[in-house]
């Protein structure tokens, strides 16, 4: 009887057991090592091989970095200091060259007394990018983002303020044409928004500039394009190309998807031609051949020419990246836009493009990074890029003849910081726009 009663009585604990700590192998650094470096025989073998190579590289290059010299006036002084400190046959890095010539790597040959202008442009660049990159900031700041390119052009190149102002007036005229004629027809409005500013810039800017300058001369000291160099040149071309190539790439991608024969044909020919030609060829066109197609006496700034060709080159690749994003969208998204009664432009702006651009973020950022690194190719058209032009100029000085690795390491580190920042921001943007939680 007692056995039956014992079997039929349920035991219910009235208090909770205290939580036990997780196994050591499932927490902290040990867990990370097991999951990422020693998760299996192959992964373990690759980890050990990688550690061997890292150890070999560190032991080989560490003495060179440890023997670094920061205070010297020439390569000969660096070598003498290394020999005096570490004995005959010792080698070491001569960072004294970077310490003495860092301003040329950053500013090129920009007048030292005017360094405040590129520094101001660089600081204002972050102010202009902030509301674009981080949507939680006040939208009113976008007004400065719109006018920033013109402010940057005026500060960097200097001269009269009126040509830059006339460029802004041309964009305002284009916007007015788009608003006024939007009710007549979208194609006519777009054509007028492009043609009217171009005609204004070609025929009206010169006379208006002369008239306004004679009445109210507002100008700062001009700086010629051949004074640009180093990272000032690379960032100017890179940021300008990025800003202009993205909207142009979107237009080309939509044009390639268009049902209009002429627009689609032009877009396909442009994209395939640009993608089939090396960038260095386009840079030679910008430097040499473009002048043959311009009216006699035309002075077309070399940096502007290079920036235009770099923009076209990047836009062709961005167009294909965005076209992939458009093709990845389900057909139902287009049908949903039609069901809502949206016209083509509203459907693209509100439904199609936001999703396509989100899909295309990795490819777009990769194109931007590649384009920014390709700005070093401008050395072949006579501009002093930070990777080859400036180091070659420094080596021409007898005091620094023979220096080799230090400029490449310094320039490579700065390029890495800038490109890595773009890459990390793209990952942040992907996480922010991610809507699924798989």
Q: Are residues 200 and 333 in the same domain?
A: no
* pLDDT confidence of residue 346: 83
Give the pLDDT band (50/70/90) at residue 296. low
In a domain, 94, yes or no: no
Q: Helices 96-107 and 405-433: crossing angle, nearest 10°?
A: 50
Answer yes or no: is pLDDT of 421 > 70: yes
pTM score, two decimals?
0.84
In a domain, 93, yes or no: no
Domain that holds residue 187: 159-220
Q: Are residues 280 and 425 in the same domain?
A: yes
pLDDT tens, 59-98? 989 989 998 899 988 899 999 999 988 888 888 899 999 9
In a domain, 274, yes or no: yes
Q: Are residues 194 and 309 in the same domain?
A: no
In a domain, 193, yes or no: yes
pLDDT tens, 207-254? 888 888 888 888 899 999 889 999 999 999 999 999 899 999 999 999
CA-to-CA distance for 177 and 193, rounded, in angstroms? 5
Average pLDDT over residues 410-431: 90
Lowest mean pLDDT of 9-23, 131-145, 294-308, name the range: 9-23
Q: Are residues 232 and 213 in the same domain?
A: no
Top pLDDT among 138 and 238 is at 238
Q: Are residues 184 and 254 in the same domain?
A: no
Are 44 and 37 in contact, with CB atoms under 8 Å apart?
yes
* pLDDT confidence of residue 133: 81
> Which candidate, 404, 375, 345, places its Cα nearest to that of 182?
345
Distance of CA 2 to the CA centre of its chain: 82
Answer yes or no: is pLDDT of 422 > 80: yes
Percentage with pLDDT > 70 across the chain: 92
Q: Are residues 195 and 248 in the same domain?
A: no
Q: Are residues 309 and 401 in the same domain?
A: yes
pLDDT tens, 321-341? 999 988 888 888 888 888 888
Average pLDDT over residues 288-310: 76
CA-to-CA distance for 246 and 429, rounded, in angstroms? 16
In a domain, 339, yes or no: yes
* pLDDT confidence of residue 9: 56
In a domain, 5, yes or no: no
Q: Are residues 394 and 258 in the same domain?
A: yes
CA-to-CA distance for 111 and 245, rounded, in angstroms? 30
Which of 192, 220, 248 is the C-terminal boundary of a domain?
Answer: 220
> Which candidate, 94, 91, 90, places its Cα nearest to that of 74?
94
Are 201 and 163 in contact, with CB atoms under 8 Å apart?
no
The phi and psi torsions of 384 (rounded to 5 degrees) equal: -95, 90
Q: Are residues 403 and 352 in the same domain?
A: yes
Q: Are residues 279 and 301 in the same domain?
A: yes
In a domain, 261, yes or no: yes
Lowest mean pLDDT of 20-34, 141-155, 303-317, name the range: 20-34
Q: Are residues 198 and 252 in the same domain?
A: no
Which of 174, 200, 220 is the C-terminal boundary of a domain?
Answer: 220
Average pLDDT over residues 289-307: 74
Answer yes or no: is pLDDT of 437 > 50: no
Q: Which two tokens stand for residue 411?
A: 């320039």
Q: Are residues 200 and 177 in the same domain?
A: yes
Structural domain count of the chain: 3
pLDDT tens, 147-204? 999 999 999 999 889 888 998 898 888 888 888 877 666 677 778 888 888 888 888 8
CA-to-CA distance for 38 and 47, rounded, in angstroms? 7
Top pLDDT among 8 and 269 is at 269
Answer yes or no: is pLDDT of 6 > 60: no
Q: What is the CATH number of the domain that holds 238?
A: 1.10.3720.10
Q: Which two tokens stand for residue 41?
A: 């025989």
Give the pLDDT band (50/70/90) at residue 294. low
Give the pLDDT band (50/70/90) at residue 271. very high
* SS3 readout for the chain: CHHHHHHHCCCCCCCCCCCCCCCHHHCHHHHHHHHHCCCCHHHHHHHHHHHHHHHHHHHHHHHHHHCCECCCCCHHHHHHHHHHHHCCCCCCCECHHHHHHHHHHHHCCCCHHHCHHHHHHHHHHHHHHHHHHCCCCCHHHHHHHHHHHHHHHHHHHCEECHHHHHHHHHHHHHHHHHHHHCCCCHHHHHHHHHHHHHHHHHHCHHHHHHHHHHHCCCEECCCCHHHCEHHHHHHHHHHHHHHHHHHHHHHHHHHHHCCCHHHHHHHHHHHHHHHCCCHHHHHHHHHHHHHHHCCCCCCCCHHHHHHHHHHHHHHHHHHHHHHHHHHHCCHHHHHHHHHCCCCHHHHHHHHHHHHHHHHHHHHHHHHHHHHHHHHHHHHHHCCECCCCHHHHHHHCCHHHCCCCHHHHHHHHHHHHHHHHHHHHHHHHHHHHHCCCCC
In a domain, 15, yes or no: no
Which of 176, 204, 220 is the C-terminal boundary of a domain?
Answer: 220
Give the pLDDT band (50/70/90) at residue 438. very low
């Amino acid at each position: 009887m007692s056995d039956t009663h014992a079997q039929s009585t349920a035991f219910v604990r009235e208090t909770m057991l205290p939580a036990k700590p997780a196994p050591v192998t499932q927490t902290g650094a040990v867990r990370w090592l097991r999951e990422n470096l020693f998760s299996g025989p192959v992964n373990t073998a690759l980890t050990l091989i990688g550690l061997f190579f890292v150890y070999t590289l560190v032991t080989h290059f560490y003495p060179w970095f440890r023997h670094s010299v920061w205070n010297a006036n020439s390569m000969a002084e660096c070598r003498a200091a290394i020999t005096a400190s570490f004995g005959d046959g010792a080698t070491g890095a001569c960072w004294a060259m970077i310490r003495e010539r860092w301003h040329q790597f950053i500013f090129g040959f920009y007048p030292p007394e005017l360094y405040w202008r590129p520094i101001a442009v660089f600081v204002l660049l972050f102010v202009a990018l902030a509301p674009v990159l981080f949507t939680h900031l006040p939208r009113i700041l976008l007004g400065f983002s719109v006018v920033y390119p013109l402010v940057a052009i005026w500060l960097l190149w200097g001269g009269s303020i009126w040509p830059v102002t006339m460029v802004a007036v041309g964009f305002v005229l284009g916007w007015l044409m788009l608003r006024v004629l939007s009710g007549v027809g979208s194609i006519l409005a777009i054509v007028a928004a492009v043609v009217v500013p171009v005609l204004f810039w070609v025929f009206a800017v010169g006379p208006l500039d002369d008239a306004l300058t004679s009445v109210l001369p507002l100008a700062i000291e001009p700086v010629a394009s051949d004074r640009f160099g180093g990272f000032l040149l690379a960032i100017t071309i890179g940021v300008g190309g990025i800003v202009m190539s993205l909207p142009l790439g979107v237009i080309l991608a939509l044009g390639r998807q268009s049902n209009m024969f002429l627009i689609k044909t032009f877009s396909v020919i442009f994209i395939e031609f640009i993608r089939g030609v090396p960038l260095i060829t386009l840079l030679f066109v910008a430097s040499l051949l473009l002048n043959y197609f311009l009216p006699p006496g035309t002075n077309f700034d070399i940096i502007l020419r290079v920036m235009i060709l770099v923009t076209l080159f990047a836009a062709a690749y961005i167009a294909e990246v965005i076209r992939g994003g458009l093709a990845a969208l389900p057909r139902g998204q287009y049908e949903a836009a039609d069901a809502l009664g949206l016209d083509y432009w509203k459907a693209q702006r509100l439904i199609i493009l936001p999703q396509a651009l989100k899909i295309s973020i990795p490819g777009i950022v990769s194109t931007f990074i590649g384009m920014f690194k390709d700005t070093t190719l401008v050395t072949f058209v006579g501009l002093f890029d930070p990777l080859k032009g400036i180091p070659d100029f420094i080596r021409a000085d007898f005091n620094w003849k023979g220096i080799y690795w230090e400029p490449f390491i310094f320039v490579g580190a700065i390029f890495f910081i800038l490109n890595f920042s773009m890459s990390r921001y793209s990952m942040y943007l992907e996480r922010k726009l991610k809507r699924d939680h798989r």
